[in-house]
Chain A
Amino acid sequence: MTAPPDDCLARNEWICGEYLSTRRHILLDAVLQHLQLTAVSVLIGLALALPLAVLARRWGWAAAPVLAGTTILYTIPSLAMFSLLLPVYGLSAGLVVAGLVLYSLTLLVRNILAGLRAVPEETRQAARGMGYGPIRLLLAVELPLALPAAMAGLRIAMVSAISLVTVGAIVGHGGLGNLIYAGMNTYFKAQVLTASVLCVVIAIAADLLLLAVQRLLTPWTRAARA
Chain B
Amino acid sequence: MNTLTDAWDWLADSAHWAGEEGIGHRLLEHLVLTVVCLAVSCLIALPVALVLGHLGKGGALAVNISNIGRAVPTFAVLVLLLLTPVGRWGEGPTVVALVLFAVPPLLTNAYVGMREVDRDIVRAARGMGMTGPQVLVRVELPLALPMVLNGVRIAAVQLVATATIAALAGGGGLGRIITAGFNLASTPQVVAGAVLVAGFALVVEAVFEVAERLAPRWARGTR
B109-146 interface with A by 8 A CB criterion: none
Interface residue tally for chain A (C-beta within 8 Å): 39
Whether B73 lies near A207 (C-beta < 8 A) is no
Closest partner residue, chain B, to A183 (CB atom):
B79
Closest to B195 in A: A84
Main SS at interface, chain A: helix
Mark interface residues in A68-86 (1 if CB within 8 Å of B CB, else 0).
0000100111111101101
Residues of A that sit less than 8 Å from B by CB = 72, 75-81, 83-84, 86-87, 156, 159-160, 162-164, 166-167, 169-171, 177, 180-181, 183-184, 187, 189, 192-193, 195-196, 199-200, 203-204, 207
Is A80's CB under 8 angstroms from B79's CB? Answer: no
Task: Please name 23 pairs of A and B residues whose Cβ atoms are closer than 8 Å in the assembled complex, sorted by A.
Answer: A75-B205, A77-B160, A80-B194, A80-B197, A83-B178, A83-B197, A86-B190, A87-B4, A87-B187, A159-B67, A159-B71, A163-B70, A163-B74, A167-B73, A167-B74, A181-B168, A184-B79, A192-B79, A192-B83, A196-B73, A200-B71, A203-B70, A203-B72
Assembly CA distance A75 to B178 (angstroms): 17
Contact among B67, B80, B178 with A192 in the assembled complex (CB-CB below 8 Å): B80
User: What's the tally of chain B residues with a CB closer than 8 Å to chain A?
Assistant: 39
Q: Does B104 contact A (CB under 8 A)?
A: no
Nearest CB of chain A from residue B41's CB, rounded to whole Å: 17
Which residues does chain B contribute within 8 Å of A189, judged by CB atoms? Answer: 83
Cβ of B10 within 8 Å of any chain A Cβ, yes or no, is no
